[in-house]
Structure 1
């Protein structure tokens, strides 16, 4: 208990429970936190919930040593979180002031503030007011989410967006004795289904936006979400993760007690569950314009394809309109590099100085030396998704994702997976003037092996392989190494990525570039 008390006391002595990067929320901008301006951000809310759980679970033992510990928890959480939560409506994440954007902050902060009130607040009127305010704020977020449940922030953030929506709903369901129950609402169901529709294999997910390719989702929460909405695929995904990771699956990033305790108590139930396979053959999210297609229903065997349209003003955006990825037997072949460790450059004005955010480091064309630009106005047009017995395809005009000085009148990118089963990437373009400054980029974690007549082989250490074919009379091949220094990137991809370039040989103002991918 001494170590626990020491830790609690040290936390209570901290001036600010948030991180420096969130100091922008304070009215007076200064390198040091303003103690007169108690803001609620992600990690101050997390800290409050953690202390509240310690109070709830350990109060008797803490009081047996010193009553000051429990009193200090109550005092600090009240002045830093509970009072500001009830008194203020100006925190952008609450959604009460017609904010341009709401994201995972809403449900993440609300779920932790709600837990702190329910565990720590003695006044029933204040507790009720907090519950009502949390529901109003969550509604602001839910009303902005697309009806198909698509998470534009990517699968990593599903844990903190959809996952903390579920945390909030579980708290409300529990405190109301089951009377607050919205788990059968279509939107809540679709938010849960998103994560298995973005699932590839093992720990790999479709990692558009700020997400690593490998995402360690909370197994028990995923299972419990599936159980609440009656979706056996979601339950099975959670159970598979737990069977694969065993006890390691309970060690979660930013994990609250509200997730850890069920993970321990339900461990055996989750591990023994057997449900419907989460490997679905096709999925389409119209709201975020993401297509997913695999070769076989119920299996990771064969080729897997995902592609996206959308716009370049999304939450946690990368400039990646027209991006696609290809896996073979669950192994990454043509990839989205993902994100590096967050720094001060990861947000605000310097974000797009980072190479991982730039279209030139995605599987996209560079035209006249110009890459895509950030902003909601830079978007895909003429988007068309097709699914039938012969083909799954996504077609779009990505010209609008580039600034005017790129000189692109039209650039129709079409991504196909047919029954052969092969993948075809077809780019039909029309430019303002003749140029040979056109380069197609492909990113892979494997050293490319070139063959004659426009063939490239990619192969992993387990001999999973794909063949890439292109017109070698029209495009010249080259490759450069991207040496990875970032720890997060190295954990997933090793020390090197390979940036393949197909550069136009013959000047043209219009034409077609076709890339075929097969096993």
Structure 2
């Protein structure tokens, strides 16, 4: 096995391997793999739900994508109106394809004309690129700009040809191959404008490479062209892996890990399958193993995630991806997380309206699901400190409490100005929260000035200190330094120096934040010790998701059947509660509550201490 990211071979050698490659990277629908999947009790349950939805919508056309929707982002910066329709079109394509591949002969025969119509409607889209990614085009269309979703579309079309083969009309298959060759394969090598994602250390690099190369491995019969594409990818993909710390961590968080590293893993699966194990992007790379272990460590109980930056608070790692990683990399803890995820999908049923519930998701879910998931148990997730990320996550017995905090810096991927922020759950319920990603609109990505006007990204939307009214500043130089992380014993300690996270106007000579957490009781103390260049106000803020109640010595945060007492101690006073409204990732109105604590007297040196005690 040759790891192309570590060992270079000539294009002639690559071509020789590719000439003999396996084109059917996803098994054809009449294969033994699909026969076995159809007999799986879990798959049969999912099939019933998919079939019922397909039968309701089979005679409906796909929701239209008119020119007005394409142009909307250029005109207003709004993304969701277009993207909502786009994702529903891909979901409907995925549902009809899944229903057809899982069907018996007669039902499949009745569904194939509808599947063909859905593929034709997808091919009729002039541009597969999101208007937000073709932002300089007044029409919102650029058929030759390869973005995340053009690449995804290329891959899914390639997989549909693999699965259904000659059941799709020859003319349609020829048009798919021709369009992908021109707009994806040749365009990848000889673009009309620079492809910047090739050099990025984040998810775009992996996702776009997977879509383009995955489709090429499945469909392109010019092996020299595919070899040239692999040569280019072998130069670019190390930059993606360089975006992860040596400990496997990424500041993009577990959600974007699923997307970026997940697609990188699937590309490796496709490459190894196509070349029968002769070529790989994984090989025996130990850093890849550590990356594979990162996101499972950031999972919290009851479907929550550690969601710093633009992460989603409620999310689950895809069990099919985890199954592949656990098996390919011999990681039993990842395999256990996969089994638990499959059980959840069986017991709660597939959310067919989930944004990414498309054919890419369905086929892997069905083909990788084990026969028996009923016995799977929620895995024990160990405490972890990721030194390169500057983040810690730890848990009490039976997840009675869960805690995560970060240092980091303010130029991270999907950055928020959030050094020193933390998350605290009690009895599987969020107490101190991260907003995560807000609604994605043009101004959120256009400049620092506009991005950090959003509550989700600015310091006022995080549980961090405020110094002389100054929030943290954006930029890599505004960085925290972890001084201590102690996870052994009865008390967790996590100490970060935040002095350099604030602009000069804050006059901050010293700011050290310490977290002390008693494992048995779940008592959490947050202590901020500061020294300023003169007398000034320092505040400690706590962001919670629920309205608070007055308490005898502070406030109470409701927490299911329990409460968490938040108490200021030793010259610290409770100041106020701010109701903070924002638009969440789904474009809906939402709110959080900001608790503000300060010193009883303005001073140049002192400390703030706030205790959170579950009751």
TM-score over 0.5 for the pair? yes
List, as ranges, runs of 4+ consecutive aligned residues in structure 1 with deviation greater than 6 Å.
Answer: none
Task: Find the residue that maps to 1:236 and give its secondary structure.
Answer: helix
- Does the 8 Å contact 1:457/1:465 carry over to 2? yes
Shift of 1:359: 0.6
RMSD (CA atoms): 2.4
Q: How has the CA–CA distance of structure 1 residues 129 and 257 changed in structure 2, closer, same or farther, with 3 Å as cutoff?
A: farther
Q: Deviations over 1:200-240 (max 9, x none)?
A: 10210110011111113212212221122222221121221
Matching residue of 1:295:
396
Matching residue of 1:430:
531
- Does the 8 Å contact 2:129/2:141 carry over to 1? no
Matching residue of 2:314:
214
Matching residue of 2:368:
266
- Does the 8 Å contact 2:155/2:211 carry over to 1? yes
- Unaligned runs of at least 5 residues, structure 1: 96-100
Shift of 1:92: 1.6
- Counting only pairs closer than 5 Å after superposition, residues 376-391 of structure 1 correspond to structure 2 as 376-381=476-481, 383-391=483-491
Looking at structure 2, the residues matched to 339 and 426 of structure 1 have their Cα atoms a distance apart, in angstroms, of 27
Matching residue of 1:409:
509
1:224 aligned to 2:324? yes
Matching residue of 2:442:
344
Looking at structure 2, the residues matched to 226 and 305 of structure 1 have their Cα atoms a distance apart, in angstroms, of 26
- Does the 8 Å contact 2:554/2:574 carry over to 1? no
Matching residue of 1:49:
155
Looking at structure 2, the residues matched to 244 and 258 of structure 1 have their Cα atoms a distance apart, in angstroms, of 19
Looking at structure 2, the residues matched to 495 and 352 of structure 1 have their Cα atoms a distance apart, in angstroms, of 18
Looking at structure 1, the residues matched to 331 and 613 of structure 2 have their Cα atoms a distance apart, in angstroms, of 33
- Does the 8 Å contact 1:155/1:215 carry over to 2? no
Matching residue of 2:196:
92
Matching residue of 1:75:
178
Task: Find the residue that maps to 2:607 and give its secondary structure.
Answer: strand
1:312 aligned to 2:312? no
- Does the 8 Å contact 2:572/2:597 carry over to 1? no
Looking at structure 2, the residues matched to 80 and 254 of structure 1 have their Cα atoms a distance apart, in angstroms, of 23
Q: Deviations over 1:326-346 (max 9, x none)?
A: 111221001111122211122
Matching residue of 1:98:
none
Task: Find the residue that maps to 2:456 and give its secondary structure.
Answer: helix
Looking at structure 2, the residues matched to 143 and 191 of structure 1 have their Cα atoms a distance apart, in angstroms, of 11
- Match 1:248 to one of 333, 337, 350: 350
Looking at structure 1, the residues matched to 321 and 339 of structure 2 have their Cα atoms a distance apart, in angstroms, of 10
- Does the 8 Å contact 1:234/1:278 carry over to 2? no
Q: How has the CA–CA distance of structure 1 residues 456 and 102 changed in structure 2, closer, same or farther, with 3 Å as cutoff?
A: same
Task: Find the residue that maps to 1:378 and give its secondary structure.
Answer: strand
Task: Find the residue that maps to 1:503 and give its secondary structure.
Answer: strand
Shift of 1:431: 0.6
Shift of 1:54: 2.4
Looking at structure 1, the residues matched to 574 and 393 of structure 2 have their Cα atoms a distance apart, in angstroms, of 30
Greater shift in the superposed pair: 283-292 or 143-152 = 143-152
Task: Find the residue that maps to 2:373 and give its secondary structure.
Answer: helix
Matching residue of 1:133:
232
- Does the 8 Å contact 1:239/1:270 carry over to 2? no
Residue-pair matches, total: 496
Looking at structure 2, the residues matched to 455 and 245 of structure 1 have their Cα atoms a distance apart, in angstroms, of 41
Greater shift in the superposed pair: 251-260 or 141-150 = 251-260
Q: How has the CA–CA distance of structure 1 residues 206 and 484 changed in structure 2, closer, same or farther, with 3 Å as cutoff?
A: same
Shift of 1:122: 1.1
Q: How has the CA–CA distance of structure 1 residues 431 and 237 changed in structure 2, closer, same or farther, with 3 Å as cutoff?
A: same
Q: Deviations over 1:26-71 (max 9, x none)?
A: xxx4323576x822111111111122222223341222xxx33222
- Match 2:387 to one of 286, 289, 292: 286
Task: Find the residue that maps to 1:320 and give its secondary structure.
Answer: coil
